[in-house]
Amino acid sequence: DGGITQSPKYLFRKEGQNVTLSCEQNLNHDAMYWYRQDPGQGLRLIYYSQIVNDFQKGDIAEGYSVSREKKESFPLTVTSAQKNPTAFYLCASRTRDSSYEQYFGPGTRLTVT
């Protein structure tokens, strides 16, 4: 089945620890995105990548880092510098053709205590 997978579904960490969220897609999509979703805030863009080995900051990149070494993978690291890391994290992807349809993974719920 083609799609986007995110793991784990739930993640718990202690404050001060870095944590990496996985995102993999087998849709052969060029562009990949990370969003953060908080209650009442909608989706906010953290980072995006349009091609391998290239990525750009979104609206709320502080405290986060990414890499894009392979087309199908776009991991997100939540560092200890992120002040409020507890949130629902969503990965998405789309092709770079004229279609702007973007598809989402199932999400990772990160809780930091």
Partner 1 sequence: QKEVEQDPGPLSVPEGAIVSLNCTYSNSAFQYFMWYRQYSRKGPELLMYTYSSGNKEDGRFTAQVDKSSKYISLFIRDSQPSDSATYLCAMTGPTDQAGTALIFGKGTTLSVSS
Q: Which of 29, 33, 64, 76 binds partner 1 (CB under 8 A)?
A: 33
Q: Which of 11, 22, 27, 45 binds partner 1 (CB under 8 A)?
A: 45
SS (H, E, C) 40-107: CCEEEEEEEEEECCEEEECCCCCCEEECCCECCECCEEECCCCCCCCEEEEEEEECCCCCCCCEECCC
Which segment (14-22, 62-70, 75-83, 101-109) binds partner 1 by CB under 8 A? 101-109
Rule CB under 8 A: say whether 50 interacts with partner 1: yes
Rule CB under 8 A: say whether 64 interacts with partner 1: no
